[in-house]
């Protein structure tokens, strides 16, 4: 099938492109390159031994989207393109709402005009906020997002659900990602944060590489076994494969409803300190870290109940945390020429 991957030059988009091509699909990448460069597109081409079509365009540009859909005639879209820095979204709410909502609506309108029936949307476990009961299932009530970024993901899920209910010509799956980490085993693609990383693992690998002097651990006085936050860290290749499974469910007409939601995580809760220590052991490096105060907006703990994805998508996270942490370090060293 022919699949448009929006944001395909980015971290999750490039890994998904590789898995789609490996599964026999044709991929076209569209990316405006505001938060990515061609490194991962080139890496994906090398991994696949293919010249993956790339188009530089903004998904909010209806004219450009029309031209793209006219040129390629897609069977499905995987919509990754979005702004994603939680902290930045608080200081730039209009940019986040404009970009994240407009790009989805423009893609949906274009799909309807061109008769493209299937979309997979990048959602996030951020839609749950701090749940009362863990692990979270897809039925866990969503809590008001704590940032414009989180709220934009909730609004996008609402837009999808309302659009699909109204028109009957689209099928959608929203995948709620937990915390994606790691890199492709080839070390040809991986996460490339611009400036100072916001997320834990890129901060760890950059500290190990000597780019950052010290890792700050945000709080060790939470109500958790070691006092640090608990998250569900999922290997980016496992996450990419969940997209292939979601698409194939729609292509096979196996969706039980036209709009479905799945948690994509491992079901395993790992603390910040555990992740740091495991990284040191697996990679034989020492990390310079210190405990500092809590980061505003952090939730204490979230991890996934993955039963629905396991059962309905026939998908389960396969990679061990150790392998994932090794892949992240291999990628950082490759980027730095170490």
> Counting contacts by CB under 6 A, is residue 319 touching ligand UFG?
no
Q: Is 149 a catalytic residue?
A: yes
Two structure tokens written together for 187? 């070390």
What distance in Å separates the CA atoms of residue 236 and residue 335, rounded to the nearest whole number? 17
Q: Which is nearer to ligand UFG, 64 or 86 (CB)?
A: 86
Residue pair 73/2 in contact (Cβ under 8 Å)? The answer is yes
What distance in Å separates the CA atoms of residue 146 and residue 296, rounded to the nearest whole number? 10
- Tell me the residue length of the chain: 338
Stretch that binds ligand UFG, among 6-14, 28-36, 182-190, 295-303 (CB under 6 A): 295-303
Interface residue with ligand UFG, options 26, 66, 248, 298 (CB under 6 A):
298
> Counting contacts by CB under 6 A, is residue 216 touching ligand UFG?
yes
Count residues near ligand UFG (CB under 6 A).
Answer: 21
What distance in Å separates the CA atoms of residue 225 and residue 25, rounded to the nearest whole number? 44
Supply the minimum distance, in Å, between the C-beta of residue 297 and ligand UFG. 8
> Counting contacts by CB under 6 A, is residue 200 touching ligand UFG?
yes
Interface residue with ligand UFG, options 203, 262, 303, 315 (CB under 6 A):
203
Q: Which is nearer to ligand UFG, 295 or 333 (CB)?
A: 295
Q: Which is nearer to ligand UFG, 169 or 226 (CB)?
A: 226
> Counting contacts by CB under 6 A, is residue 231 touching ligand UFG?
yes
Two structure tokens written together for 6? 């929006």
- The catalytically annotated residue of 149, 177, 233, 289 is 149
> Counting contacts by CB under 6 A, is residue 42 touching ligand UFG?
no
Binding mask 106-125 for ligand UFG (x = CB under 6 A): ------------------xx
> Counting contacts by CB under 6 A, is residue 198 touching ligand UFG?
yes
> Counting contacts by CB under 6 A, is residue 236 touching ligand UFG?
no
Burial class (CB in 10 A: 0-12, 13-18, 19+), 62: middle
> Counting contacts by CB under 6 A, is residue 192 touching ligand UFG?
no
> Counting contacts by CB under 6 A, is residue 273 touching ligand UFG?
no
Binding mask 125-164 for ligand UFG (x = CB under 6 A): xx-----------------------x--------------
Q: Which is nearer to ligand UFG, 52 or 272 (CB)?
A: 272
> Counting contacts by CB under 6 A, is residue 84 touching ligand UFG?
yes
- List contacts with ligand UFG (CB under 6 A): 84, 86, 124-126, 150, 179, 198-200, 203, 215-218, 229, 231, 272, 295, 298, 302
Q: List residues with catalytic annotation.
A: 149
């Amino acid at each position: 099938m022919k699949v448009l991957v929006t944001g395909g030059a980015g971290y999750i988009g490039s890994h998904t492109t590789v898995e789609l091509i490996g599964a026999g699909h044709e991929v076209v990448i569209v990316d405006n390159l505001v938060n990515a460069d061609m490194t991962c597109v080139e890496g994906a081409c090398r991994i696949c031994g293919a010249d993956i079509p790339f188009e530089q365009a903004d998904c909010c540009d209806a004219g450009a989207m029309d031209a793209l859909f006219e040129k390629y005639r897609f069977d499905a879209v995987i919509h990754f393109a979005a702004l994603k820095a939680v902290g930045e979204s608080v200081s730039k709410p209009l940019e986040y709402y404009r970009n994240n909502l407009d790009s989805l609506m423009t893609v949906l309108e274009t799909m309807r005009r061109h008769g493209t029936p299937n979309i997979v949307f990048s959602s996030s476990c951020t839609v749950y906020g701090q749940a009362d009961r863990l692990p979270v299932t897809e039925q866990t009530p969503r809590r008001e997002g704590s940032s414009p970024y989180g709220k934009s993901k909730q609004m996008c899920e609402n837009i999808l659900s309302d659009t699909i209910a109204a028109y009957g010509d689209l099928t959608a799956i929203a995948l709620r990602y937990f915390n994606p980490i790691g890199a492709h085993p080839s070390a040809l693609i991986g996460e490339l944060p611009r400036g100072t990383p916001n997320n834990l693992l890129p901060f760890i690998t950059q500290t190990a590489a000597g780019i950052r002097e010290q890792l700050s651990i945000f709080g060790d006085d939470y109500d958790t076994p070691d006092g640090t936050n608990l998250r569900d860290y999922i290997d980016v290749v496992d996450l990419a494969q969940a997209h292939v499974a979601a698409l194939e469910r729609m292509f096979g007409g196996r969706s039980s409803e036209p709009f479905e939601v799945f948690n994509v995580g491992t079901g395993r809760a790992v603390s910040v300190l555990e992740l740091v220590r495991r990284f040191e052991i697996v990679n034989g490096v020492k990390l310079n870290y210190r405990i500092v105060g809590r980061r505003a907006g952090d939730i204490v703990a979230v991890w996934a109940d993955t039963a629905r994805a396991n059962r309905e998508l026939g998908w389960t996270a396969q990679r061990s945390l150790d392998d994932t942490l090794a892949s992240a370090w291999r990628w950082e060293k490759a980027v730095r020429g170490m």
